[in-house]
């Protein structure tokens, strides 16, 4: 019954780490980015609405994101735990997630924060754009997302730090090393009794 959240700036490797951590802890990874991209590629109503924001490097508005995540967290495969990737990104989304979990008598167990220097993040984004050909990976879009992360998502990090459930992890270097560090940090955190 492990409920985790992974958070970090764009290009920090959240998606890669979420997959490895979810596998290790035996829970499904729930990625808003994947859900958005799936809806965009299938040209669903939500995807069409979301694409306008994603292509400009903006966050998809809270009401669209909240509805999407709420539906996903009601699926049967996440009832025994999950690892959220990309949500919540704003303070109002934290409130929405709190309410959703509280309505079922649940709460997050830990929030993993990946940290890496901006210059390294931009370098990773450029490499990812070349390898995957993602249209939303341009320098301007990346810098806009990074700016949004530092202004809006920083609030989210502060909320979870204040609750004492933030687990910072150095997100620089080799992905396998980062995974090992993150697993060790989360296991140590979960094993430590809290008052």
Assign residue 68 the CATH number of its domain.
3.40.50.300
Give 106-136 pLDDT, tens digit per residue: 999 999 999 999 888 888 888 877 787 766 6
Label residue 95 left, alpha or beta by phi (over 0 means left) and psi (-120 to 50 means alpha).
alpha
Name the residue range of residue 121's domain. 2-191
Is 143 labelled as part of a ligand binding site? no
Q: Which tokens hold the place of 166?
A: 């933030």
Is 3 labelled as part of a ligand binding site? no
Is 174 labelled as part of a ligand binding site? no
Is 89 labelled as part of a ligand binding site? yes
Is 58 labelled as part of a ligand binding site? yes
Element (H, E) at 48: helix 45-54
Total domains in the fold of the chain:
1
Pairing of strands 2-7, 81-85: parallel
Using 50, 70 and 90 to split pLDDT, how confident is the model at 56?
Answer: confident
**pLDDT at 36 > cutoff 90:** no
**pLDDT at 48 > cutoff 90:** no
Tell me how many degrees the CA angle 124-126-129 measures, rounded to the nearest 5: 110
- The span from the CA of 18 to the CA of 86, in Å, is 10
Evaluated on CA atoms 185, 186, 192, 193, the torsion sign reads positive
Give 132-168 pLDDT, tens digit per residue: 776 666 888 888 888 888 888 888 999 999 999 999 9
- Mean pLDDT of all residues belonging to the chain: 89
- The span from the CA of 39 to the CA of 119, in Å, is 31
Is 32 labelled as part of a ligand binding site? yes
Is 8 labelled as part of a ligand binding site? no
Is 145 labelled as part of a ligand binding site? yes
How far is Cα of residue 173 from the mean position of the Cα atoms in its chain? Answer: 19
% of the chain residues with pLDDT over 70: 97
Is 12 labelled as part of a ligand binding site? yes
- C-alpha distance across the termini of the chain, in Å: 20
């Amino acid at each position: 019954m492990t409920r985790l959240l992974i958070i970090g700036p764009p290009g920090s490797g959240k998606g890669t780490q979420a997959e490895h951590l979810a596998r290790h802890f035996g829970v499904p990874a729930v990625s808003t980015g994947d859900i958005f991209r799936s809806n965009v590629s299938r040209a669903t109503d939500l995807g069409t609405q979301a694409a306008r924001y994603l292509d400009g490097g903006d966050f998809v508005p809270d009401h669209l994101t909240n509805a999407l995540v709420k539906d996903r967290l009601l699926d049967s495969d996440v009832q025994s735990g999950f690892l959220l990737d990309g949500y919540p990104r704003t303070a109002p989304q934290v409130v929405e997630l709190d309410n959703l979990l509280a309505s079922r008598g649940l709460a997050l167990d830990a929030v993993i924060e990946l940290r890496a220097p901006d210059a390294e993040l931009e370098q990773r984004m450029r490499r990812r754009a070349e390898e995957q050909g993602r249209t939303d990976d341009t320098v301007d879009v990346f810098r806009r997302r990074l700016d949004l992360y530092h202004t809006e998502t920083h609030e989210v990090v502060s909320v979870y730090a204040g609750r004492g459930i933030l687990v910072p992890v150095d997100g620089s270097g080799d992905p396998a090393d980062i995974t090992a560090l993150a697993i060790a940090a989360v296991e140590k955190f979960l094993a430590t009794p809290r008052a």
